[in-house]
Amino acid sequence: NAGVTQTPKFRVLKTGQSMTLLCAQDMNHEYMYWYRQDPGMGLRLIHYSVGEGTTAKGEVPDGYNVSRLKKQNFLLGLESAAPSQTSVYFCASSYTLELADYTSYNEQFFGPGTRLTVL
Amino acid sequence: GIQVEQSPPDLILQEGANSTLRCNFSDSVNNLQWFHQNPWGQLINLFYIPSGTKQNGRLSATTVATERYSLLYISSSQTTDSGVYFCAVSTSGTYKYIFGTGTRLKVLA
């Protein structure tokens, strides 16, 4: 199994250009997430999906759009890139298990990241 | 929303030393994970531990959910332990994880 993969690994854009980042997972996970990580900081959630055809906003959704047309893929789009979107982008996926004690198990697994620079 | 604080922010150790990293969170959590981000930027799962204690080799973790903290213990540290350690939590009814700002560890040979 490849786990979680991200395409591309690196990209340089000019201000105003658009691009799409692709995340793919082969673990049949229901949940998928897009995060960004800025220098010296933790990860911040951009958007996430709880299943095929569904998406929801995270902490920092402005300037991004997402789509989950297939269960295994989660796309992150930048319609008009800005220098403030220079960052490392991580995708993650997870599955959930409802446990006998009415809690739920949900462990995330991450892709290798995409380093994006907007000039 | 829930706040996640990690301490210390930076830590420098000699090879062979032990350390304890702490993660405090401001609300009840349903899920908690510890990650190691290596110097190449890769995020590696260390523990899924919403409560209780787990051990994996030189690493162990304890979460005391009722007191809203988790601890990561690293024993006999090695230079390959260097990197940033993150705690991430999610609350009941949501699968959105919130990350702490991390502890940056450097282990000297």
Average pLDDT, whole number, for chain B?
A: 94
Interface check for A58 against chain B (CB to CB < 8 A): the answer is yes
Phi, psi of A83 (to 5 degrees): -55, -30
Q: Residue A34 — pLDDT band, cuts 50, 70, 90?
A: very high
Quick one: average pLDDT of A92-116?
A: 86
Average pLDDT, chain A: 93
- Which pLDDT tens digit goes with each residue over B54-65? 999 999 999 999
Question: Which residue in the set A33, A59, A112 is minimally distant from B42, CB to CB?
Answer: A112
Model confidence at B93, pLDDT cuts 50, 70, 90, reads confident
Note which residues in 28-57 of chain A have CB less than 8 A from chain B: 31, 33, 35, 41-45, 48, 50
Provide the pLDDT for residue A106: 85
In whole angstroms, what is the distance from residue A112 CA to residue B14 CA? 29
Q: Check pLDDT > 70 for residue A82.
A: yes
Mean pLDDT of all residues in B7-29: 96
A44-54 pLDDT, tens digit each: 999 999 999 99
CA distances from B17 to B13, B14, B61, B75 (A): 6, 6, 17, 7
CB contact under 8 Å between B50 and A103, yes or no, is yes
- Which of B30, B33, B100 is nearest residue A108 as measured by Cβ atoms? B33
In the predicted structure, residue B95 carries a pLDDT above the cut 80: no
Among A109, A119, A116, A42, CA closest to A77: A116
Structure-token pair, residue B65:
């959910």
User: Which residues of B fall below an 8 Å CB-CB distance to A?
Assistant: 30-31, 33, 35, 41-43, 45, 48, 50, 86, 88, 90, 95-102
